[in-house]
C-alpha cells in the first residue's frame, strides 16, 4: 500500500523552510526532512532553494487537480504540492537522468504512488500528455544564453541557463499539456518579466496573476511569480508583494 499524505493546514513559513529545508549535501546523496513524514533525496548537483518553496505555495492546486512539473530537478515541487495540498497526481519531468533517478529514490523511500518521475525533454513530450493537466508548474532557467556567469557543471548549466529550453519552449509545451482553462505557474527573475509575458501570450496563455517577491519592504523585488490561463481573456491581477524576510 502507498502512503497516504494528509495535507498540512497551517501556513507554510518561508523563513523556516529556507533554513531547515535548503539542501547542504556534499558530493554524495543526502536526505532532507520535509515534515509530515516525508523525506527527499538531494545531491550536490540537485538541491533546492527558496524559489521552489515560493512557487509551490503560489500554485496552490486543488486536491483533484492533475499537475505536471517541468524541470523538476530533485522533485521538491511535487513533494511540496503533495505535502501541502494533497494533489491526486504529479508528473515530474526533467531532461537530466541523474535528477530523475534521485527523484525515483525519494518516491520509493516514501512509498508514494502519486508522483510519477519522467526523464524527457519538455520540448518533445509524447502527445499522450496533451490536454491532460489542470496545472503546469515550472521553475525555469533564469539566464538567457550568453548572459551571466557560465556554470561549471552540466547540471548547473541546465538549471540556470536556457541551453535546453527557453521561456517560449516552456509556454509552448504548457499550452499543449494544459486542459482548456488550465493554469501555468512560473517563477523567474524580474529582468525576465517582459520575456515571460510575451512568451505566454504568443502561446495563447493569458497572464492572470502577478506577484513580486522581495526580501522586505526596504528592498526592491528580485523575483516574480506569474500565473497564466490557457485561452483566457485578458485581465491581470497584480497581487501584494511577497516578503520572504530572509
- The Cα–Cα gap between 6 and 212 comes to 30
Which of these, 228, 36, 34, lies nearest to 138 by C-alpha position? 228
In this prediction, residue 211 has a pLDDT band, given cuts at 50, 70 and 90, of very high
Whole-prediction pTM value? 0.84
Model confidence pLDDT, tens digit, residues 65-117: 999 999 999 999 999 999 999 999 999 999 999 999 999 999 999 999 999 99
Helix 193-202 and helix 167-177, axial crossing angle in degrees, nearest 10 = 40
Residues in contact with 142: Cβ distance below 8 Å, sequence separation at least 6, in sequence order? 160, 188, 189, 192
176's grid cell: 499543449
- Domains of the chain as residue ranges with CATH: 50-243 (3.40.50.150)
Sign of torsion over alpha carbons 82, 87, 88, 93? negative
Which of these, 86, 88, 80, lies nearest to 13 by C-alpha position? 80
**Rounded mean pLDDT, 147-161:** 51
Is the pLDDT at 153 greater than 50? The verdict is: yes
Amino acid at each position: 500500500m502507498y502512503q497516504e499524505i494528509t495535507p498540512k493546514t497551517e501556513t507554510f513559513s518561508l523563513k523556516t523552510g529556507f533554513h531547515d529545508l535548503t539542501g547542504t549535501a556534499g558530493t554524495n546523496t543526502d536526505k532532507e526532512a520535509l515534515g509530515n513524514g516525508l523525506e527527499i533525496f538531494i545531491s550536490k548537483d540537485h538541491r533546492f532553494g527558496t524559489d521552489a518553496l515560493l512557487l509551490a505555495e503560489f500554485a496552490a492546486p486543488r486536491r483533484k487537480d492533475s499537475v505536471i512539473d517541468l524541470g523538476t530537478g530533485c522533485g521538491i515541487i511535487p513533494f511540496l504540492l503533495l505535502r501541502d495540498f494533497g494533489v491526486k497526481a504529479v508528473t515530474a519531468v526533467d531532461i537530466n537522468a541523474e535528477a530523475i533517478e534521485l527523484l525515483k529514490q525519494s518516491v520509493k523511500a516514501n512509498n508514494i504512488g502519486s508522483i510519477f518521475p519522467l526523464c524527457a525533454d519538455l520540448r518533445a513530450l509524447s502527445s499522450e500528455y496533451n490536454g491532460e493537466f489542470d496545472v503546469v508548474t515550472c521553475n525555469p532557467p533564469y539566464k538567457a544564453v550568453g548572459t551571466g556567469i557560465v556554470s561549471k557543471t552540466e547540471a548547473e548549466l541546465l538549471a540556470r541557463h536556457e541551453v535546453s529550453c527557453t521561456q517560449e519552449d516552456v509556454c509552448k509545451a504548457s499550452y499543449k499539456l494544459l486542459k482548456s482553462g488550465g493554469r501555468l505557474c512560473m517563477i523567474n527573475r524580474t529582468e525576465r518579466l517582459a520575456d515571460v509575458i510575451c512568451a505566454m501570450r504568443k502561446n495563447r496563455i493569458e497572464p492572470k496573476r502577478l506577484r513580486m517577491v522581495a526580501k522586505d519592504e526596504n528592498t526592491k523585488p528580485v523575483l516574480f511569480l506569474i500565473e497564466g490561463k490557457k485561452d483566457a481573456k485578458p485581465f491581470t491581477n497584480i497581487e501584494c508583494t511577497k516578503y520572504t524576510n530572509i
